[in-house]
């Protein structure tokens, strides 16, 4: 049993079958990549994991419980954190505040009326957030406004916000999309570092083969909404079906 | 001190000073001078300053922190007023009952209206709140007339009202445990005259407490969550936070502040009318917030004061007054100036002045009076070597 079990998931948008009978199992403590050409349904699939979309049929079980019909915040409270294709952070807040908020969410749950105590008196939360920022080498930027960060740092911050919750599953939707090579390499290094430092399960959607082959342990290839194959990176590389799906794409 | 850092504490002291010293600060001109007209240090107006400052402090917790623009906040002032009035009519004139009940009842209405309005965001949320306020306004002139008094307004009737808690011969004006809130003393100092009224000082005390609570909310984890909602609602959800109850709590707190203000209006002057809920009143609240500086602690108080001052002082300047002031000009110029001022800027036309001031502020100092103050402050401070920016993780005051 994987920590995330996807069975027979279908999703239609009008006449378009975005997902057709998707089965997928993500094992604990592995990095599982989902790859496929543009429009293959990768984001749609991921949105079904986090409560943004509800599949027409099928089941999505996380840690033995169904996530279907739950709100995004409930699914996060179950232990799934998500990194977006373009970093979603609190741009009007400081870097430190950005990381403190997920700490509060983890400690106090989805809602708590703590309106009278001073944020400054939450020493434990602050320490936890600073420790996390130190881990991603951003401690010196903690008093900056998040909006003034560089693109790469915004991504770093978003990862810190997810990781500080110590999620059981971290979902990443094209974390390097639109990045320059140098930034991409930085992100890969960061992800590997994270992977080495702690036990974490990651499901990563990627378009960039370089990223995928440098860190994934399992790969699922999605084409036209259906998984073609699932295997180790080495086996995927030479797989004829994968070549076929990616025909005309230079990266393979 | 009091759980505040130094900066916030001095801000609190500053507001407390303004509130307590208002009878002096707002009375700079001797009673005999021709400018005494500009004095605002009389109880009825100072009460309005304090009461609308309270409305705005609450409004700012919603609009300033979460960015949700309520366009129906005046309805809560009305609900607070009617509740306080009914406490007089049914129980007695002690404001220790009337004011808390005004807050409680307004809170219940805010819970209901917020619960529905918060199903939508942005402009739709604003329109929903406007619709509720408009409903409250219209209903109080029609089916709710038995409760609101309709056109004739609601006022206590010591002969026919039950007033079950009123002792034999008890006060029939608002009081605090038998202490008449209209009690005044006047100091004559030279040609100045300063009036101190119990009612105003009750407002001032409640204003200081309200402001203190607002600072605590701004600096709390709850306040930080509200700012985060304004910044990125989607990220909040994916961070495991349910934004609905946070928003609803902010809405109710902000409504309770307005209800408190409504109760205070009735504590100062025992009558309540529906015109308090008209949509232009809600609009004025929004304008006060923007004029003062949205999201800053001090701004809304300044905005409320500035607009109430213009409303009362500018609007009461008459043509003959203008003639006295402009008497030194040649007659033709005097007449022309008086004509322009009287028809476009003061008296009934004071709204135009407000509009111009508002436009100038929004265009040139979008941060409102607070930003204006900061800019002027920086201009003066520029001479000294730049003081290091503080490393505090707090938003601007
Ligand atoms: N909300 C939506 N409404 C209609 N069609 C959609 C929606 N989201 C995605 N699609 C369509 O579903 C298909 C899969 O999209 P997506 O999951 O974004 O692909 P990928 O992330 O693999 O590039 C695409 O053809 C896309 O146009
Ligand atoms: Mg996609």
Task: Compute the Cα dihedral for B282, B285, B290, B293 and give only its sign.
Answer: negative
A104 found inside a domain: no
**Does the pLDDT value for residue A150 go beyond 60?**
yes
A232 found inside a domain: yes
Q: Which domain holds residue A226?
A: 4-79+167-247
The whole-angstrom separation of Cα B186 and Cα B195 is 4
Query: What's the complex ipTM?
Result: 0.92
Interface touch B224/A100, C-beta < 8 Å: yes
Mean pLDDT of B57-79: 97
Chain A residues touching chain B at CB-CB below 8 Å: 50, 71-73, 76-77, 81-82, 84, 88-94, 96-97, 100-102, 104-106, 109-122, 143, 161, 165
Mean pLDDT of B358-366: 93
Under 8 Å between Cβ of B272 and B264: no
B151 found inside a domain: yes
Interface touch A113/B249, C-beta < 8 Å: yes
Token representation of residue B16: 């407390």
**Does the pLDDT value for residue B156 go beyond 60?**
yes
- Directed axis angle between helix B122-141 and helix B73-90, to 10°? 30
B356 found inside a domain: no
Mean pLDDT of B70-98: 96
Residue A25 Cβ contacting ligand 1 at under 6 Å: no
How far is B249 from chain A, CA to nearest CA, in Å? 8
B362 found inside a domain: no
**Does the pLDDT value for residue B392 go beyond 90?**
no
Q: What is the Å distance from ligand 2's center to A119 Cα? A: 37
Residue A178 Cβ contacting ligand 1 at under 6 Å: no
Cβ-based contacts under 8 A for chains A and B: 113
What residues in A contact B393, CB-CB < 8 Å? 94, 96-97, 119, 143
**Closest CA relative to residue B80, chosen from B212, B265, B204:** B265
- DSSP string covering A46-94, please? HHHHTTSS--SEEEEEETTEE-TT--HHHHHHHTEEEE-SS----TTSB
B141 found inside a domain: yes
- DSSP string covering B86-120, please? HHHHHT-SBHHHHHHHHHHHHHHHHHHHHHHHTTS
A93 found inside a domain: no
How far is B236 from chain A, CA to nearest CA, in Å? 8
Nearest residue of chain B to residue A118 (CA atoms): B220
Interface touch B228/A90, C-beta < 8 Å: yes
Mean pLDDT of B350-355: 91
A224 found inside a domain: yes
Q: What angle do CA B101, B104, B109 make, to 5 degrees?
A: 125
**Closest CA relative to residue B271, chosen from B155, B184, B193:** B155
- DSSP string covering B277-293, please? GSHHHHHHHHHHHHHH-
- Directed axis angle between helix A151-163 and helix A181-197, to 10°? 20
B349 found inside a domain: no
The whole-angstrom separation of Cα B76 and Cα B71 is 11
Residues 6+ apart with CB under 8 A from B193: B27, B31, B186, B187
A16 found inside a domain: yes
**pLDDT band with cut points at 50, 70 and 90 for residue B329:** confident
- DSSP string covering B19-55, please? HHHHHHHT--S-TTSTTGGG---SHHHHHHHHHHHHH
**Closest CA relative to residue B11, chosen from B304, B300, B262:** B300
Give the pLDDT confidence score for residue B383 in this predicted structure.
58
How far is A213 from chain B, CA to nearest CA, in Å? 28
**pLDDT band with cut points at 50, 70 and 90 for residue A74:** very high
Mean pLDDT of A132-146: 95
Which CATH number belongs to the domain containing residue B173 in this structure?
1.10.3470
Mean pLDDT of A144-167: 93
What residues in B contact A117, CB-CB < 8 Å? 3, 220-221
Q: What is the mean pLDDT of chain A?
A: 90
CB atoms near residue A15 (< 10 Å): 5
Residue A38 Cβ contacting ligand 1 at under 6 Å: yes
What residues in A contact B223, CB-CB < 8 Å? 115, 119
A48 found inside a domain: yes
B134 found inside a domain: yes
What residues in B contact A100, CB-CB < 8 Å? 224
Tally of structural domains, chain A = 1
Q: Which domain holds residue B267?
A: 6-18+40-311
Mean pLDDT of A105-118: 94
Nearest residue of chain B to residue A104 (CA atoms): B221
Which CATH number belongs to the domain containing residue A176 in this structure?
3.40.50.300
Mean pLDDT of B240-248: 97
Residues 6+ apart with CB under 8 A from B280: none
Give the pLDDT confidence score for residue A249 in this predicted structure.
52
Least confident of B126-140, B164-178, B219-233, B285-299: B164-178
**Does the pLDDT value for residue A252 go beyond 80?**
no
**Does the pLDDT value for residue B224 go beyond 50?**
yes
Give the pLDDT confidence score for residue B35 in this predicted structure.
80
**Does the pLDDT value for residue B343 go beyond 50?**
yes
Mean pLDDT of B259-269: 97
Task: Using DSSP, state whether A215 is helix, strand or coil.
Answer: helix
Least confident of A39-43, B325-329, B366-370: B325-329
Task: Compute the Cα dihedral for A44, A48, A52, A55 and give only its sign.
Answer: positive
Task: Using DSSP, state whether B179 is helix, strand or coil.
Answer: strand
**Does the pLDDT value for residue B379 go beyond 70?**
yes
Give the pLDDT confidence score for residue B384 in this predicted structure.
54
B35 found inside a domain: no
Tally of structural domains, chain B = 1
**pLDDT top residue among B191 and B112:** B112
> Distance from first CA to last CA of chain B, Å, rounded?
17
A122 found inside a domain: no
How far is B385 from chain A, CA to nearest CA, in Å? 22
B387 found inside a domain: no
- The residue among B58, B107, B218, B241 with the most chain A CBs within 10 A of its CB, best to mutate, is B241
Partners of A229 in beta bridges:
A221
Q: Which ligand is nearest to the CA of A18?
A: 1
A140 found inside a domain: no
Atom of ligand 1 nearest to the CA of A14: 4
């Amino acid at each position: 049993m994987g920590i995330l079990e996807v069975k027979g998931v279908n999703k239609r948008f009008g006449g378009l079958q975005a997902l057709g009978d998707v089965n997928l199992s993500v094992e604990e403590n592995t990095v599982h990549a989902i790859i496929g050409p543009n429009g293959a349904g990768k984001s749609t699939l991921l949105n079904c994991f986090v409560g943004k979309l509800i599949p027409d049929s099928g089941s999505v079980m996380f840690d033995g419980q169904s996530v279907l019909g739950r709100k995004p915040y409930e699914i996060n409270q179950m232990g799934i954190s998500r990194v977006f294709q373009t970093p979603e952070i609190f741009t009007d807040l400081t870097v430190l505040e950005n990381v403190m908020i997920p700490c509060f969410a983890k400690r106090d749950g989805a809602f708590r009326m703590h309106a009278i105590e001073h944020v400054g008196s939450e020493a434990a939360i602050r320490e936890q957030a600073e420790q996390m920022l130190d881990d991603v080498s951003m401690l010196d930027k903690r008093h900056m406004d998040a909006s003034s960060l560089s693109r790469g740092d915004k991504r770093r911050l978003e990862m810190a916000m997810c990781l500080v919750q110590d999620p059981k599953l971290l979902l990443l939707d094209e974390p390097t999309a639109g990045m320059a090579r140098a930034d991409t390499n930085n992100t890969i290094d960061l992800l590997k570092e994270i992977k080495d430092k702690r036990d974490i399960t990651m499901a990563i959607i990627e378009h960039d083969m370089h990223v995928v082959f440098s860190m994934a342990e399992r790969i699922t290839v999605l084409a036209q909404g259906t998984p073609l194959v699932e295997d180790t990176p080495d086996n995927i590389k030479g797989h004829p079906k994968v070549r076929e799906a990616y025909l005309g794409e230079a990266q393979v | 001190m009091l759980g505040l850092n130094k900066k916030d504490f001095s801000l609190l002291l500053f507001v407390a000073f303004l509130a307590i010293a208002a009878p002096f600060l707002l009375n700079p001109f001797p009673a005999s001078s021709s400018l005494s007209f500009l004095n605002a240090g009389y109880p009825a107006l100072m009460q309005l300053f304090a009461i609308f400052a309270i409305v705005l402090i609450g409004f700012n917790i919603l609009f300033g922190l979460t960015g949700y623009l309520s366009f129906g906040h005046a309805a809560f002032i009305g609900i607070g007023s009617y509740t306080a009035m009914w406490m007089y009519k049914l129980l007695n004139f002690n404001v220790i009952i009337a004011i808390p009940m005004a807050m409680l009842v307004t809170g219940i209405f805010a819970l209901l209206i917020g619960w529905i309005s918060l199903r939508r965001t942005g402009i739709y949320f604003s329109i929903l709140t406007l619709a509720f306020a408009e409903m409250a306004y219209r209903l109080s002139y029609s089916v709710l007339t038995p409760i609101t008094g309709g056109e004739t307004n609601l006022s206590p009737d010591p002969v026919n009202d039950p007033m079950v808690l009123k002792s034999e011969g008890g006060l029939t004006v608002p009081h605090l445990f038998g202490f008449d809130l209209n009690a005044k003393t006047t100091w004559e100092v030279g040609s100045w005259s300063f009036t101190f009224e119990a009612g105003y000082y009750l407002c001032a005390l409640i204003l200081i407490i309200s402001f203190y609570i607002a600072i605590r909310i701004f600096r709390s984890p709850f306040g930080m969550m509200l700012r985060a909602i304004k910044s990125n609602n989607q990220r909040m959800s994916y961070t495991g936070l349910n934004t609905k109850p946070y928003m609803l709590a902010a809405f109710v707190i902000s409504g309770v502040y307005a209800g408190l203000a409504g109760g205070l209006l009735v504590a100062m002057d025992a009558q309540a009318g529906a015109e308090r809920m008209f949509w232009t009143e809600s609009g004025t609240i929004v304008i006060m917030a923007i004029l003062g500086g949205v999201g800053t602690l001090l701004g809304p108080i300044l905005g409320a004061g500035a607009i109430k001052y213009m409303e009362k002082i500018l609007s009461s300047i008459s043509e003959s007054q203008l003639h006295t002031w402009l008497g030194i000009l040649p007659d033709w110029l005097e007449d022309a100036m008086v004509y322009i001022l009287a028809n476009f800027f003061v008296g009934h036309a004071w709204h135009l002045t407000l509009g111009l001031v508002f436009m100038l502020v929004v265009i040139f100092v979008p941060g409102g009076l607070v930003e204006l103050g900061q800019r002027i402050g920086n201009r003066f401070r520029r001479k000294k070597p730049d003081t290091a920016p503080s490393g505090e993780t707090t938003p601007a005051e």
